[in-house]
Chains A and B, each alone.
Chain A
Amino acid sequence: MMRKCLTKLSVLAAALGVTSPAYAATDVTFAATLTNSCVLTLSQAGSMTVSSNGTVLGSEQSGGTAAILGVVAIGSLPTMTFAAPSLTASPSGWVASHTDEIRYTSTRGASQAYTASSSSHALTGLIDTFTINGRVTSCEGFAAGNYTLRSVATCS
């Protein structure tokens, strides 16, 4: 009686397609195709304030903030180039001579002192974060209004 019952159960299992776990095993795979690339992300725009003696407008003056630029490269180590900074906005009528400079450091060792020229840094790792400071120096002082110091950051 018991044997008959077991036989019926196995026929039923076969009909339902139930098989042992060993026969049901299958691979679960995860595939990815990565493109050799560079992604730049500016997470914080810099801001500048004027020094107490009125001759320096910079991000390292009290109340100013540095710009934070993240680099994520895939495949090969890129080079970051910072073009010579320039004032793209200043109050009309303010014609004082001035010097525009940036400096930067990175979490993977880049270290550039204040410069008015173009500079570059070959990355030593695929992921890096640059902290960029800017300043405008003018012995003649600054007029009231809006100023924008800009540098072109290029990953290549």
Chain B
Amino acid sequence: MFLRNGLCALLATAILSGPLLAVGLGPLQRSGVTDGPGKIFYLTLINPYPHAETFEAIPVANDSEALAPRVTIFPARATVRAKGSRRLLVIIKPLAAGETYAFRVCAARPPQPQETIYARVCSHLVARRLTEGRPADRSAADRG
């Protein structure tokens, strides 16, 4: 009986405390065309925890872990309600005429000292600015 109660208490603790580490982000890729110097994408940050949690979103280069310049994320650090989601605004500026700019936005919980696995989700984003004088092709995929 004592053992069963103990096991139940342990199970309850494990369930109530939730996962050790969790994060969600979407969509995983997005591209868009603009005729101006700036481009905006919207991403959705997901909190799988059964409690409010703070996450960081960082712009990262496509082919390395270097920070991607010219990218602003708002908010870059967000507290999301339990099992909820929050929209992130990603602004790329300035874009030169004819330039294609590819990078990633990676979301994760701020690293904890004792974590053995640092889990993060990255979204691949590609912004392209048309050359001068061409109107933007605003397709569905373009709306970010």
State the A residues within 8 Å of B (CB). 35-47, 67, 69, 72-76, 78, 88-89, 132, 134, 148-156
Contact = CB atoms under 8 A, between A and B. Distances in A.
Contacts of A156: 28, 104, 121-124
Given A67-B117, A76-B28, 9 more contacts: A35-B46, A37-B26, A42-B19, A45-B115, A73-B28, A75-B26, A150-B116, A152-B119, A156-B121
A156 B120 CA distance: 9
B106 interface: yes
B117 A69 contact: yes
Contacts of A73: 28
B116 to A, nearest CB: 5
Contact of A42 (B21, B104, B124): B21
8 contacts: A36-B26, A37-B27, A38-B24, A38-B28, A40-B121, A46-B117, A76-B29, A89-B113
B24 A150 contact: no
B131 interface: no
A42 B117 contact: yes
A153 B116 contact: no
Interface in B63-108: 85, 104, 106
B119 A69 contact: yes
Contacts of A46: 116-117
A150 B21 CA distance: 14
5 pairs of A and B residues whose beta carbons are closest in the complex: A37-B26, A39-B24, A42-B21, A36-B27, A156-B122
B106 A37 contact: no
Contacts of B123: 156
A156 B122 CA distance: 5
Contact of A41 (B22, B26, B29): B22
A153 B117 contact: yes
Contact of A37 (B24, B104, B117, B118): B24
Contact of A39 (B23, B27, B29, B115): B23
